[in-house]
Amino acid sequence: MSQIAITRTQNPKTPPSDDTLAFGNVFSDHMFLMNYEDGKGWHDPRIVPYGPFSLDPACCVLHYGQGIFDGLKAFRGQDGHIRLFRPGDHARRLNRSAHYLCIPELDPAMVEESIRALVEIDQKWVPHKPGTSLYIRPTVIATETFLGVHPSHTYLYYVIVGPVGAYYKEGMNPVRILASDQHVRAVKGGLGAAKTMANYAASLYGAEEAQKGGYTQVLWLDALEHKYLDEVGTMNIMVKIGDEVITPPLGGAILAGVTRDSVLTLLRGWGMQVSERQVSIDEVLAAAKAGRLEMWGTGTAAVISPVGELGYKGERYVINDGKTGVLTQKLYDTIVGIQYGTEPDPHGWARLLGN
Ligand code: COI
């Protein structure tokens, strides 16, 4: 790719203490930017000091939501190396999201290069404490100034990064989720498989309702029958019923999580019975009542998040005595071990910075 032009900040900030880190409220010293224009393609890759940029009020993304993003992390191992977790897979997923939103394809190698270059320059922002990481947010927005509804002819690709701790205030402790029979996130044939702003906007109202009821997140059921599990607001969902691990299939309504794929690969490697199939809320509740259920979410931000309680139609169902299940803990330890370089990485998921 063309050379990335670098303008370093004259006012570097001091990263906060690792002990204070939450999720998504602190950003580093620099950001990556690159523009697209029909006829010219993607051009002008550059790293500049982090800060606001200006957009015309009539800019397309602000009105019709033509935008996409992805999320991945960099980890500082005890060996001092910084590792990016599956950056190539995140770059390819960004492109798949671009496809759904009629956004011109980006070269995945260039996306990975933009991420590496930015993390390299801002590496002092990768926190040290176990459980912390540098969250990386590649984003594409439509920038053309117009109010007619059609795909934009110009775009901005940008990457921002910031140190984070646990996504949920519960940390690795079990969360409570509410299966909604009222609200839906996405429907097959729509945008559910894309990482686009619209899906998160669609989730806000239901999530607020759930939080009023004391739940951390919503478990979205399928939009047609309100019967089958789809996903949780910020993570894919998995259940273990007896010996079978089940997760909803990638049918177009849910996001193809990179952590989801990592977990399925690990489970299959451990010889476990894994099914990507529809699983109904009734099947899950029956297993909860029979004490045969373990449940967890998977996601870049959430990592592996145990579910300790499920709400549905005014009833509360405690899962696994409200405790983290044995398999959930093993998955967490293995994934986190690969990310920090303390566990073997036979699939080559953790990519060293500087290599
Ligand atoms: C992620 O896990 O990276 C996400 O994008 C979830 C969220 C914070 C929107």
The tokens describing 31, both together, are: 């950001």
> Cα dihedral angle (276, 109, 340, 262), rounded to 10 degrees?
10
- Asked if residue 176 lies in contact with residue 166, where contact means CB atoms within 8 angstroms, the answer is no
What confidence score (pLDDT) does residue 171 get?
A: 78
CA atoms within 13 A on the CB side of 281: 22
Q: How far is the CA of 286 from the centre of ligand 1 (A)?
A: 30
What confidence score (pLDDT) does residue 252 get?
A: 84
What's the whole-model pTM score?
A: 0.96
Domain-by-domain residue ranges, the chain? 5-164, 175-340
Q: Do domains 5-164 and 175-340 have the same CATH topology?
A: no
CATH 1.10.10.10 at 175-340, yes or no: no
User: Nearest residue CA, atom 6 of ligand 1?
Assistant: 234
Measure the N-to-C terminal CA separation of the chain; round to a whole number of Å.
Answer: 17
Residue length of the chain:
355
Coil, helix or strand for 155?
strand
- Asked if residue 152 lies in contact with residue 60, where contact means CB atoms within 8 angstroms, the answer is yes
What confidence score (pLDDT) does residue 163 get?
A: 98
Grouped pLDDT means (10 residues each) for the chain, 355 residues: 87 97 96 98 98 97 98 96 98 97 96 97 97 97 97 98 90 91 91 96 94 95 96 95 97 94 98 98 97 96 94 96 96 97 97 87
Coil, helix or strand for 143?
coil
DSSP-assigned letters across all residues of 33-60 = EEEEETTTEEEEEEEEES------TTBH
- Is the shortest distance between the CB of 199 and ligand 1 below 6 Å? no
Look up the CATH number of domain 5-164. Answer: 3.30.470.10
Nearest atom, ligand 1, residue 167 CA:
8
Nearest atom, ligand 1, residue 300 CA:
2
